[in-house]
Amino acid sequence: MADKDLTRIAALLRKAERTDNEHEADAYLQAAQRLATLSAVDLAVARAHTQHRERRVRPTQRTITIGESGKRGLRTYVQLFLAIGRANNLTCDIARDSSRVYAYGFDTDIDTVEALYASLVVQMVRASDVYIKSGDYAREVVIKQVKIPGSERYSRWKREVSYDYELVERPVHATTARINFQQAFAARIGARLTQARQEVEQHATQESGLVERKDSNGTAMVTDGASVALVLSERELELAEHYRANSTARGSWTGARATSGYSARSRRAGDQAGRRARLGGERPIGGARPSIGGGS
């Protein structure tokens, strides 16, 4: 049956259970039963649907394995996960060896991030492989300082060997190109997802109509848009408090600072690939996130 029918039946049952007027309750129950009969659905299923929709969603923590410890490329994989996670309201801790990410957030948001990451990491690796095989990165040269052969000098005072150096041009190394490509890819994906989330939240805030709410004096009027913004702010606060209460991380992740040189050409190529990447079959960003009120 259509989900909208199940929702209508659940709403009637909820009204029947909450009213103090037994005649109203009976009327709501009969209406629910008629609709249920026409839709061929058991009322128990509708009640379960109501409980599911009204269940309070709490922040949680989940461990995501990025790869085996010591495997090459884990740092840029983590950077991609973090970019997707930040755009979907996750806060993350990272293992020192970059093999695992500890994600804090709502279940549905973590599900969304895992699904997006599973697709995008494959696209990132394939796109960077194609770029490296093209050899385009080698058209960019970098200036490196190299030792001049035969210039060794031994210092008795410092008890060390010193050399003379010269500056030479060298093609960008493939490893440098791959890392820069993937870093730019991850950054562009994060920017796309963040923009999409902001547009959705702005639309939800602006398009909501007026709703009447009474304060303690019974006279206040607020806009639904304002309440949406307030709830979004409260969700962020709830997530922040959950992270502070449960995270045991110490220090900072060194992967964000690790570099192997800079390649502007590779970064441009990675950024372009990130612009072309498919975001989960181009479905709405954020997946089936909880409702504004915190329900599932």
Q: Please state, in angstroms and as integers, the Cα–Cα distance from residue 212 to each residue in 10, 215, 225, following that order.
A: 24, 10, 12
| Domain extent for 243 | 60-276
Residue entry with tokens 């303690």: 216
d(CA 278, CA 287): 14
Domain-located, residue 15: yes
Residues 71 and 170 in one domain: yes
Residue 53 and residue 19 in contact, taking contact as beta carbons nearer than 8 Å: no
Residue 293 lies in a domain: no
Query: pLDDT (tens digit, 9 = 90+) per residue, 215-240?
Result: 444 444 444 555 667 677 888 898 99
CA distances from 155 to 147, 150, 151, 160 (A): 17, 15, 13, 6
Cβ distance 80 to 279 under 8 Å? Answer: no
Is 78 found in the same domain as 46? no
Q: Are residues 79 and 223 in the same domain?
A: yes
Domain annotation covers residue 283: no
Of 17 and 287, the structure prediction assigns the larger pLDDT to 17
Q: What is the pLDDT of residue 19?
A: 73
Category of 112 on φ-ψ map: left (φ > 0), alpha (ψ -120 to 50) or beta: alpha
Tell me, yes or no, whether 133 and 232 share the same domain: yes
Q: Out of 54, 70, 97, pick the residue that ends a domain.
A: 54
pLDDT score of 290 more than 60: no
Pick the residue with more confidence: 165 or 159? Answer: 165
The two three-digit tokens of residue 262, written as one number: 């800079």
The pLDDT, as a whole number, for residue 288 is 40
Look up residue 72 and give its DSSP letter. Answer: T
The answer on 140 and 269 residing in a single domain is yes
Nearest residue to 137 via CA among 167, 170, 186:
170
The alpha carbon of residue 50 and the mean position of all alpha carbons in its chain are separated, in whole angstroms, by: 28
Residue 262 resides in a domain: yes
In a domain, 154, yes or no: yes
154 in the same domain as 24: no
- 294 DSSP 8-state letter: S
**Helix 74-87 vs helix 107-134: crossing angle, to nearest 10:** 140
Burial 115-128 (b: 16+ CB within 10 A, else e): ebbeebbebbbebb
Same domain? For 185 and 87 the reply is yes
What is the structure's pLDDT at 61?
A: 95
Tokens encoding 160:
């060390």
Region 240-250: what's the mean pLDDT?
92
- Specify whether 89 is located in the same domain as 218: yes
Mean pLDDT across 148-168: 78
Q: Is 150 part of any domain? A: yes
> Is 296 among the domain residues?
no
Residue 290 lies in a domain: no
Q: Are residues 194 and 157 in the same domain?
A: yes
pLDDT for the residue numbered 93: 97
pLDDT for 214 = 44
Q: What pLDDT sits at residue 274?
A: 96
Q: What is the pLDDT of residue 291?
A: 34
Number of domains the chain contains: 2
Q: Are residues 173 and 46 in the same domain?
A: no
* pLDDT confidence of residue 16: 67
pTM summary value: 0.69
Q: Are residues 131 and 235 in the same domain?
A: yes
The C-alpha R_g of the chain, in whole angstroms, comes to: 28
Shared-domain flag, residues 168 and 236: yes
Residue 218 phi/psi, 5-degree rounding, is 75, 25
Do strands 210-211 and 222-223 pair parallel, antiparallel, or not at all (unpaired)? antiparallel
pLDDT-derived band at 66, boundaries 50, 70, 90: very high
